[in-house]
Amino acid sequence: MMKKFLLSLAVGAALATSAQAATISVGTEATFAPFEFMDEQTKQLTGFDMEIIEAVAKEMGDDVRVHNMGFDALIPSLQTGIIDVTVAAMTITPERQKRVDFTDPYYQSGLVIMVRKEDAKKYTNFESLEGQRLCAQIGTTGAMMAKRVKNAKVTEFNSITEAFMELKTKGCTAVINDKPVVDYYLVRRGDETVTTVPQVFDAEHYGMAVKKGNKALIEKLNEGLKRIRANGVYDKIFTKWFGAH
């Protein structure tokens, strides 16, 4: 069983870089199921990312404290030492690599377009969305892609759930977001009023991010990821949340 996550505002970046570190302070944005979200029944943080970082920390003899914050606050919190590492389905991009250091990739994803079923034949690719109102979560690669659509009017929300609701109420034409998150929403909500364009765009790799130059923590996290892949723990967690791969 996963150990109970502790939400904490009092964190110490120095702990993660010490050889005797007992705690790693983790930042996440817990509205991004199935990667990180609050379980409605247990009221505890759960998801693929949460189980991965817990398994990595355990393998390395450490524990974790999780700090739930807005996605756009994660990198600034790393830079100022409020947290040690972000584990939040964060895509490794050249722009972000200028600001933080990433671990080896731990998940491959891609972007999809979600539309209302009634519009499925009308909007089939990014070109067909020219001039339309688009929704995405602030700070994500979905938002970055939406802004590249010609003459699109992009509205960014703090959580992807808000973007989904905006689409359902016809506040926008489409939502651009990560495929596994959209698929999870469609399955869990049983929502038959929306659907996705079959094509997956822009393959992405997720990585854990740390403050620029924190080589010791990067090495520790990469070693932990290597171990859980080798001992089968990674595959068990993956299958739990996404099925066999």
Q: How does pLDDT run across 172-192, given as a tens digit for each residue? A: 999 999 988 888 888 778 788
Q: How confident is the model at residue 202 (pLDDT cuts 50, 70, 90)?
A: confident
138 SS3 class: coil
Locate 74 and state its tokens: 């994660």
Confidence band of 198 (pLDDT split at 50, 70, 90): confident
CATH class of the domain at 109-203: alpha beta
Enclosing H/E stretch for 181 = helix 179-189
* 13-106+207-242 is classed CATH 3.40.190.10: yes
Per-residue pLDDT reduced to its tens digit, 116-172: 999 999 999 999 999 999 999 998 999 999 999 999 999 999 999 999 999 999 999
Best-predicted range by mean pLDDT (6-10, 79-83, 108-112): 79-83
Distance CA 146, CA 153 (A): 9
Contact status, residue 67 vs residue 73, Cβ threshold 8 Å: no
Instruction: Return residue ranges of the chain for CATH 3.40.190.10.
Output: 13-106+207-242, 109-203
What does the block give as tokens for 70?
Answer: 């807005």
Judge whether residue 2 has pLDDT over 80: no
CA 167 from centroid of its chain's CA atoms? 20
